[in-house]
Amino acid sequence: MSFCGQSGILLLVIILLGIVGKNYVVAAAAGALLVLRLLHGEALFPILEKHAINVGIGFITLAILVPFASGGIGWSEIYKTLANPIGLTALATGIFVAYLGGRGVGFLTSQPQVIVGLMVGTIVGVAFFRGIPVGPLIAAGMVALIMGLFGYGN
C-alpha cells in the first residue's frame, strides 16, 4: 500500500503537526482520513465534505445545550447572566460570531481559494497554539468583513 501520493504525504504532515503540537484530535482526524485513503474509501469523501461540518456543529451545539437539558441552567441563571456587563457582552459577541459564521459560509462559497489559507491557519493554530478547529467559518467571515472594508470579495 502506498500513501496515495501528495494527499497522503499532506495527511502525514498534519498527523505529525498534531502530535508535535499535542493536539491529538487533529492527528486522529488526519489519521482516519489517511486510513480511508489507504483502504480506498475515497467514495466517502464527498459525503464527509458535504455533511461532516453540520454533524460536527450539531455535536458542539449538543454539548453546549447539555446544561439546559440537565437543569443546570434555568431562567434565573439566564436572567442573572444577561443582567450584567459580562453577560451582555457575551450576548453581543455571540450574535456577532453567528453573523460572522453566516458571512463565512457565503464567502467560502464565492471565494473557495480562501479555504487553503484558512485550513493551514487552523491546523497551525490547533497544532501549536492549543486551539480547537471550530474557527474556519468564523475566520472566513472575518476575512469577508475585512475584504469588504477594502472593497474586495462580497
Tell me the pLDDT tens digit for each residue of 7-54: 899 899 888 887 887 778 878 999 999 999 999 888 898 898 888 878
pLDDT at residue 108 greater than cutoff 90: no
- CA angle at 132 for the pair 65 and 71, rounded to the nearest 5°: 15
Overall pTM > 0.85? no
pLDDT at residue 2 greater than cutoff 60: no
8 Å CB contact between 149 and 116:
no
Separation of alpha carbons 147 and 14, rounded Å:
29
8 Å CB contact between 4 and 30:
no
